[in-house]
């Protein structure tokens, strides 16, 4: 199997276990396609329970030695991985484009943002420092330390096959855990490329493993007692399932779910800036981002002008093969393309105005590619399915309201709370919005407010199940647990029988 030649047909995309490719015993597979051509480029293995247990066992067996590896040694391997990734990230970006469909520049940006978390994890020594109090009681010292959990699972979505796993596994590994990554079966090859890079960086066998599969693999990760924690990113219904099942089996779980991100555009906003932002955030990566803006909320009399500016920009976009000179690529599968198109049909039937219709796109790519162009829908109302549902495609809805208060109420009433943005030149309005909006990540004149690696990524309400966000210091705490050690070395004459509760003195 060739891992670095995305245009080469591959027969089987296998698992990675104990430092090498692992074919497994299951005869189930799923097709992997190039979305720009519709061509099947490989078959990914779908694990059965025995395959999943074999991969998990590799992580379990490797944990004691990795836990006891010095922080200095772990960090040196992280630095090696970072340098290799930086030198060869173009390869990974090409692999992502070949299976996901996003344009190459976008794929490269994804890898670079993931690399930021690798760089953050290189500083794990400072982040794992405990605390100590000398002589807390007479001749008694107390220290707090943080230790790894054990084998952990990362279940990642199709839309960011490199960046989302890198939100989790660099910190988990740096902290002394071993990892089983379950990538999406739609674009699984990036995970094997990363596994090979870890091996080249000097990571011991079994510390990073890849389990290919579907619900069978997921359920084993959620129930197997060897797995101590689960990190998940995906749709809200599956996030709920992962959280409830994992916690029921005694695991620590962070499950990031879906989104319906609003951008609030106030009358005083720079409409050129706002229009640029709506196009970029609505149609980048064909809208297949959990932080995409899918609802532009126009306040007051600006809606007509804002819509005209968005139309002007949208009509300049080129949809096509991500390896060519395109602005936006195809959707990931034909089934997903058809599902997104059905929402445009529904919006039209519900009385919304289809201003730019992506169903009629002429794409620069294969005739059988999964094409749907940028779509702008005006006069959308909150009861329409094009507004209520997470579409996960290049569909931007414009909702018209009269006041800031009406807009805020609309956003806060939404069951999702992943990301939002406000466009204004009024500092007071912006400060009020960041305080009042019930959303986990807020942009002020920034359309996609994905935090840097040393802050944490995560939403509110139905966009997150669990207490802990991804990466940043919250990620370090998620992948470690605290221990307090109370010790007495001096005064050997302290002995004697005293059944009373210990008191400090």
**12 in Cβ contact with 23 (< 8 Å):** yes
Given the DSSP bridges, would you call strands 140-148 and 208-210 parallel, antiparallel or unpaired? unpaired
**Strand order across the 39-45 sheet:** 12-13, 39-45, 29-34
Active site members: 290
Given the DSSP bridges, would you call strands 140-148 and 131-137 parallel, antiparallel or unpaired? antiparallel
Sign of CA dihedral 361, 363, 367, 372: negative
Helix (H) and strand (E) counts in the chain: 15, 23
**404 in Cβ contact with 266 (< 8 Å):** yes
CA 357 – CA 348 distance, rounded (Å):
10
DSSP collapsed to 3 states, 289-343: CCCCEEEEEEEHHHHHHHHHHHHHHHCCCCEECCCCCCCECCCCCHHHHHHHHHH
CA 291 – CA 288 distance, rounded (Å):
9
Question: What 8-state DSSP symbol labels residue 438?
Answer: -
CA atoms within 13 A on the CB side of 425: 8
Helix-helix angle 71-100:104-121, to 10 degrees: 170
- Tokens 């962070």 found at: 254
Cα 199 to Cα 207, 236, 493: the distances in Å are 10, 34, 53
Q: Which residues of 233-260 are buried (b: 16+ CB within 10 A; e: fewer)?
A: bbebebbebbbebbbeeebbbbbbbbbb
| C-alpha closest to that of 418 among 446, 443, 455 | 443
Sign of CA dihedral 315, 321, 324, 329: positive
Name every residue whose Cβ is closer than 8 Å to that of residue 350 and which is 6 or more positions away in sequence. Answer: 381, 384, 385, 386
**53 in Cβ contact with 82 (< 8 Å):** no
């Amino acid at each position: 199997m060739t891992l670095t030649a995305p245009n080469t047909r591959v027969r089987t995309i296998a698992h990675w276990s104990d430092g090498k490719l692992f074919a497994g015993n299951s005869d189930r597979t799923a097709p992997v396609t190039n979305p720009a051509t519709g061509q099947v480029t490989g078959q990914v293995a779908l694990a059965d329970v025995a395959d999943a247990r074999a991969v998990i066992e590799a992580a379990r067996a490797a944990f004691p030695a990795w836990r006891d590896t010095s922080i200095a040694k772990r960090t040196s391997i992280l630095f090696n991985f970072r340098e290799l990734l930086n030198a060869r990230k173009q390869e990974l970006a090409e692999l992502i484009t070949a299976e996901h469909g996003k344009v190459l520049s976008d794929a490269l940006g994804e890898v670079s943002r993931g690399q930021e978390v690798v760089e953050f994890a290189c500083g794990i020594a400072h982040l794992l420092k405990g605390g100590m109090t000398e002589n807390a009681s007479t001749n008694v010292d107390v220290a707090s330390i943080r230790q790894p959990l054990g084998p952990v699972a990362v279940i990642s979505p199709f839309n960011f096959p490199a960046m989302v796993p890198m939100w989790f596994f660099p910190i988990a590994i740096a902290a002394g855990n071993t990892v089983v990554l379950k990538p999406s079966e739609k674009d699984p090859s990036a995970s094997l490329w990363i596994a090979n890079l870890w091996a080249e960086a000097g990571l011991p066998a079994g510390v990073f493993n890849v389990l290919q599969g579907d619900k069978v693999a997921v359920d084993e990760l959620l129930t197997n007692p060897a797995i101590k924690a689960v990190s998940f990113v995906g749709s809200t219904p599956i996030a709920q399932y992962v959280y409830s099942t994992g916690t029921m089996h005694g695991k620590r779980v962070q499950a990031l779910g879906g989104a319906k991100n609003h951008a609030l555009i106030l009358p005083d906003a720079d409409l050129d800036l706002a229009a640029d932002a709506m196009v970029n955030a609505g149609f980048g990566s064909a809208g297949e981002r959990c932080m995409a803006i899918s609802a532009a909320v126009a306040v007051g009399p600006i809606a007509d002008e804002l819509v005209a500016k968005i139309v002007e920009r949208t009509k300049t976009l080129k949809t096509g093969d991500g390896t060519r000179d395109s602005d936006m690529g195809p959707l990931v599968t034909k089934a997903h393309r058809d599902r997104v198109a059905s929402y445009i049909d529904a919006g039209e039937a519900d009385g919304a105005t289809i201003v730019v219709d992506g169903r009629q796109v002429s794409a620069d790519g294969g005739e059988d590619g999964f094409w749907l162009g940028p779509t702008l829908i005006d006069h959308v109302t909150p009861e329409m399915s094009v507004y209520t549902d997470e579409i996960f495609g290049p569909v931007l809805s414009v909702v018209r309201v009269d006041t800031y208060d009406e807009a805020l109420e609309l956003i806060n009433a939404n069951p999702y709370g992943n990301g939002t943005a406000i466009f204004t030149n009024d500092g007071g309005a912006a400060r009020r919005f960041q305080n009042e909006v019930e959303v986990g990540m807020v942009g002020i004149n920034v359309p996609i407010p994905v935090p840097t690696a040393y802050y944490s990524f995560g939403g509110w309400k139905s966009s997150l199940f669990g207490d802990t966000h991804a990466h940043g210091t919250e990620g370090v705490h998620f992948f470690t647990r605290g221990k307090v050690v109370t010790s007495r070395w001096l005064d050997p004459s302290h002995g004697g029988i005293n059944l009373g509760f210990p008191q400090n003195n």
